[in-house]
Structure 1
Amino acid sequence: MKGQEWYQASEVAEEYDEKRFSRGGRLIDRREKEAVLDALEPVAGKRVLEIACGTGRFTVMLAERDANVTGLDISGPMLQEGRQKAHQSGVADHLEFMRGDAARLPFPDDHFDTVFAMRFFHLADTPAKFLSEMARVSKDQVFFDTFNRFSTRSLYNWLLPMGSRLYSAGEVERLVEGAGLHLADDDHDFVVPYGFYRKVPDWVADPVRNADITIGRSFAGNALASVSYWDARV
């Protein structure tokens, strides 16, 4: 996976949420959580696995909605941040954090109702292998996001410390089919790239986001989107 050493540093984990989801970045956080909930709900009583759970933004959110959640990540410091978040939210009793490799998931076949990954596939060096493992341990749903090849993301991708793998829609469709899955739904968003929102204050981000949503709902919206959410079934 790209940037493993950078990602596993303690100082990166401690500052991760603040750097990415404060200021205008809060709009990204809100939209990503909305995308996860739209795809996964209702989650109460479901057994859910999050791949690359990081600091637990989504694992804690789902545990608060009574899902039985396991979060897996390669970074010990990121997992520690997630555990602290779970304790602060009072959901540590039905949320488990594990350090592990997404290419070799330590679970039997069909172990979870839903398996999902956010902010993961842009770092994946072997996406077909990762998606096949996600499909193997899920008995129903696999959900993930990608950054799009023909989008504004490509304009600054080379500047990022971990880089990004960018995908065309056709490439994602082939990966899904190769993993033995079928697409149930897809959604596309963010004409203006993430990097912009993280750099600007709320009073700038809010009107830009409103314009972004308007463009996204237009005829050309899907083609211009920099992020896609893919909902697949076993």
Structure 2
Amino acid sequence: MKGQEWYQADDVAEEYDDKRFSKGGKLIDRREKSAVLEAIMPVEDRRILEIACGTGRFTVMLAEQGADVVGLDISAAMLQQGRTKAQRAHLDGTLEFLRGDAGRLPFPDDHFDTVIAMRFFHLADDPEAFLREMRRVSSEQIVFDTFNRFSARSVYNWALPMGSRLYSKSEVSELLAKTNLTLVDAKDDFLVPYGLYRSIPNGLATPIRTLDTAIGGRPVTDHFASVSYWNTRLR
């Protein structure tokens, strides 16, 4: 995995949410959470595994909605942030945080209804192997996102601390075919790159987001979206 040492640093974990999901980044957080909920609903009583759960943004949200959730991450520092977040929440479901390797998931076959992986595949050195392992422990559904090759993200990708793996639509389609997954739905979003939203106040980011959504919803501009959300089912 790219950037493992950077990602596991204590100071990165402590500042992760503030740097990415404060100011205009709140719009990113809101959209990503809605994408996950739209794909999984109804959430209540579902057995869900989140790969690379980080600080628990999605795991806590899903547990609040009544799911039985396990969050797995390689970073002990990130997991501690997630546990702190969970302690502050009034959870209707159950939530467990585990440290582990996404390439060797410590669960039996078909153990979960749904497996999700957000902000993960851009770091994956062998996405097919990871997707196969996710499929092994899922009985129904896999939800994940990818950063897109033909997008504004490609302009500044070289400047990121660990870089990113960028995907074309055809590459993702090939991955799904190789791992026997059926595409249920794919949503494209964010013509304007994440970095801009994170660097400006929410009040300024909101009108930009409104314009971004209006323009990005057209068939032609969809091809240049920064991110795609993939909802897949097992064949």
CA contact (8 A) 2:3 2:161 kept: yes
Aligned to 2:224: 224
Please tell me whether the aligned partners of residues 83 and 92 of structure 1 are also in contact (alpha carbons under 8 angstroms). Answer: no
Q: Would you say the 8 A contact 1:49–1:71 is kept in 2?
A: yes
SS of the aligned residue for 1:220 comes to: helix
Contact 1:116–1:142 (CA under 8 A) maintained in structure 2: yes
How far did 1:216 drift?
A: 1.2
Where does residue 106 of structure 2 map in the other structure? 106
Distance between the aligned counterparts of 1:17 and 1:224, measured in 2? 26
User: Secondary structure, in 3 states, of the residue corresponding to 1:156?
Assistant: helix
Secondary structure in structure 2 of the residue aligned to 1:230: strand
User: Does residue 40 of structure 2 align to residue 40 of structure 1?
Assistant: yes
Aligned partner of 1:61 in structure 2 is: 61
The change in CA–CA distance for 1:107 and 1:173 in structure 2 (over 3 A counts) is same
Structure 1 distance, partners of 2:92, 2:16, is 21
Partner residue, 2:4: 4
Distance 1:231 1:4 in 2: 26
Q: Give the equivalent residue in structure 2 for 1:88.
A: 88
Note the C-alpha offset of 1:164. Answer: 0.2
Normalised by the size of structure 2, how large is the TM-score?
Answer: 0.98
Deviation at 1:162, TM superposition (A): 1.6
In structure 1, the residue matched to 2:133 is 133
Query: How big is the shift at 1:116?
Result: 0.5
- Change in Cα spacing, 1:18 to 1:107, as seen in structure 2 (3 Å) is same
- State the secondary structure of the residue aligned to 2:144: strand
Secondary structure of 1:183's partner? strand
Q: What is the distance in 1 between the residues matched to 2:183 and 2:106?
A: 25
Deviation sequence 1:130-163 (CA, Å, 0-9, x none): 0000111000000000000011010000100121
Shifted more, 122-131 versus 202-211: the winner is 202-211
* 1:79 to partner: Cα distance: 0.3
Contact 2:216 2:225 in 1 (8 A): yes
The answer on 1:116 being equivalent to 2:116 is yes
Structure 2 distance, partners of 1:11, 1:219, is 41
Check whether the contact 2:65–2:92 (CA below 8 A) recurs between aligned residues: no
Shift of 1:218: 1.6
Unpaired segments ≥5 residues, structure 2: none
> Partner letter of residue 79 of structure 2?
L
Alignment CA distance shift 1:82-1:72 (3 Å): same
| Distance in 1 (alpha carbons) for counterparts of 2:81 and 2:219 | 41
Rounded Cα–Cα distance in structure 1 between residues aligned with 2:92 and 2:129: 31
Measured against aligned partners, the alpha-carbon deviations of 1:169-216 in whole angstroms (never above 9, x if no partner) come to: 000011111111111110000000101100111222111100000011
**C-alpha separation between the residues in 2 aligned to 1:75 and 1:131?**
20
Separation in structure 2 between the aligned mates of residue 39 and residue 106 of structure 1, nearest angstrom:
25
2:63/2:93 contact within 8 Å kept? no
- Measured against aligned partners, the alpha-carbon deviations of 1:98-119 in whole angstroms (never above 9, x if no partner) come to 0000011111110000000000
Q: Give runs of ≥4 in structure 1 deviating > 4 Å.
A: none
| Distance in 1, Cα, partners of 2:202 & 2:101 | 37
Unaligned regions of 5+ residues in structure 1, if any?
none
- Paired amino acid for 1:221: T
RMSD of equivalent CA atoms: 1.0
Counterpart of 2:231, as a letter, is D
8 Å CA contact 2:64–2:93 kept in 1: the answer is: no
Cα distance change of structure 1 residues 42 and 61 upon mapping to structure 2, 3 Å threshold: same
Deviation at 1:93, TM superposition (A): 7.2
Give the counterpart letter for 1:90 in structure 2: H
